[in-house]
Each structure stands twice: as structure tokens, then as C-alpha cells.
A and B are shown apart, each in its own frame.
Chain A
């Protein structure tokens, strides 16, 4: 079969709703697009532990601390499921980490913002995990089997993440005036970065067309962003908080909430590495990765020793 025939057959499988598995033939650009997307998704889960880890030792109660710890553990799990999915393209995990460290691979820009107060733990769960749920529910229908399966597992766990965040925010919003102000301040700071999590507008997103043709994505950035806006605006109003957008209005005809234009200069600036925490996040990851090297080396040495011993037993 020629390359062209293979491509046609591949597209027919996609159109028929079949899932593609690692050993199946697939076009190189499909593979590259997915590898980039999955590995960056994995890095995002791992880097995303940092803003929350920052509050672990300052959680206001044992209950809050246990919950935060469980959530951060889940995020580590999400990172590992996704690294495994990316590894199905035959690229070693240490290579992916090297790409992260060299800046060749990115992670979601949302994690380049600082978590300044306890209310941010609420805002992150509610908004950041909330946006991630909208995106990941769509990705669970992705054409690449390993990615779709990882997403199904992740989506099951995310429900708790968003609810615990909303609980924190709702509690603060109904607390003292100072607590309510803190909740509002967190919403003010996280609102627009959360909207940017869905990526550029469809018209400015060069990858969208191919991704949709291949069913890597089955809905566009703008569709997903609107779904998030509609859900979140109502959740904010429900607990007496104000969306920080003077132009926010409900369109009765489309039945959608409309917002001001998004500040994309800010978005690209953070993507390029100039956000408030880009250096801190990456340096932290490098530092702990390097400091953990001896642990991995010991584990490997122990494994080798055990293999030698069991081989010695076998040959006796």
C-alpha cells in the first residue's frame, strides 16, 4: 500500500469513529501532534502541583490539608497516566523531561501564576480544574486510544477537585467581609487566565483544523470556552461573587454569556516565558529532578543486584 492509500484508510477509520492504537499505522503528523499535546498535558499536571503544594503546610485545618494532599496526589497520578500515554510513541520519559527542562516542551501557562492566598486554593479547584474538566471530557472522545483512556480515568477524579475548590470559595464568600473580599480577589485574578486555558480563538489556532479532522479534538477552543463561561458565571452569581468583567452580559437569543475581548498579548507573553512564575516553576522542577537522581540510581542498582541473585539461583 502506498503512503497515500494508507492515509486514506487511516482517515476512514477516524471517520468511522474507530480508536487508533499504538501499533497501528498512523501518519507522522498525527503522531507528532499527539505526542506534543500529550507530553505537554503530562507536564502541566506535574507542574500544576506546585501552586497547590505551596499551601499544603499552611492549610487552615486538618480536613483542608488532607483534601489538598489527596488532590495533589491525584495530579501526580494524572501526570503519570499521561506520560505513559505519550510513551506509546516510543519516546522515553527521560527525553520528555529533558524537553521540558530545555524549554522545547511547554506546559499550561495557567501554572505560571502565583497562588497568593488560601482563597486561591478554592479558585484553582473551581476554575482551573473546572476548565480542565470541560477540556478533558471532550478529550476522552479522542481518536487515540491510550490518550482517551487516560482521560476517562482522569475525568472520574476531577469531579472531586472542582467540588472541593468550589466548597472553599463558597465558604469564604459567605464568611466575614474580609474573607469574602479574599474570595473575590482570587476570582478576579484567576478568571481571565482560566479563559485562556482553552487556547487561542479558533480563527487564530492553526492546529485546530487538523486536530478536528483527526478527532484529536472533537470540539473547538471557542466552543469549550463558552461552555466553561456559561457554567462558571452562574456558579459565581450563586455564591454572591462578581465576574471581573464590566461587559459581561447574557444574550437571551443565543442563551450564552458574553464577555469582553480576551487580552491575548498577556497570553503570548506568558507562553513565551515572561509570566510571573515561569522561572520559579521550571527551576523547582529541575532542582528536585536532579536531587532525586540518586534515588533512581539506587533503585536501579538494587534491581540489578536482585536480577543477578535470581539468575544465580536459576543456574544452580
Chain B
């Protein structure tokens, strides 16, 4: 084993406050789950930035691309009836 290795890559998601979403922080290198979790704590939460962490092997992330953006997200363009402002309320309607 003489070849240099930098261990596998992981993506880090962190919850910063109770009830909040887990947001992507960045990535790191680690040999296994335990090391990934510890490295994530050391790398992304040295100042109590997080209260809970997920680590995911980078190779498990499936991502859409910029090239896909148009056809992938376009179908929603002509469906503004999915938003509340599409609807006209009778004048003077309250709490709606």
C-alpha cells in the first residue's frame, strides 16, 4: 500500500437549530461513517453552528444539471393556478 490515498468523499448536511432544515455545508474526506461524522463536526461546527449532522457518501448524491433545467422545471411555468395569488377574491373578503 504505497499509493497515496485521500480517503472517500462525503457530503455534509447540518441542522443549525431545532426544527430547522438540514442544509448542505460542503464536503470532506473520511474512511468510514464514524470518521465522517467526527470530521464533519470538526470541520463545519467549531463554533456551535450545528446541533445535528448528516453525512452522505458523495457518490450517493444524484444531481440534476443546468442543461436539464429548462425541460425539467418548465412544466410548472404555466401552472400558476398552483399559487394563491392566481385567485380573485370578492372585494372586501377578509382573512383569506
Contacts and interface: CB of A to CB of B under 8 A. Distances in A.
Contacts of A70: 46
Interface stretch (B22-30, B77-85, B87-95): B22-30
Contacts of B65: 23-24
Contacts of B35: 299
B46 A303 contact: no
A143 B47 CA distance: 28
A58 interface: no
A187 B48 CA distance: 34
B31 A300 contact: yes
Query: Which range contains the number of B residues in contact with the other chain?
Result: 20 to 34
Contacts of A314: none
B18 interface: no
A93 B29 contact: yes
Q: Classify chain A: how many residues form its interface, as a range.
A: 20 to 34
Contacts of A21: 66
A77 B43 contact: yes
Main secondary structure on A side of the interface with B: helix
Contacts of A297: 1, 5
Nearest to B47: A157
A21 to B, nearest CB: 7
A306 B67 contact: no
B8 interface: yes
A296 interface: yes
A296 B6 contact: yes
Interface of A: 21, 23-25, 70, 73-74, 77, 80-81, 84, 87, 92-94, 97-98, 149-150, 153, 157, 293, 296-297, 299-303, 306
Interface of B: 1-2, 4-9, 26-32, 35, 42-43, 46-47, 63, 65-67
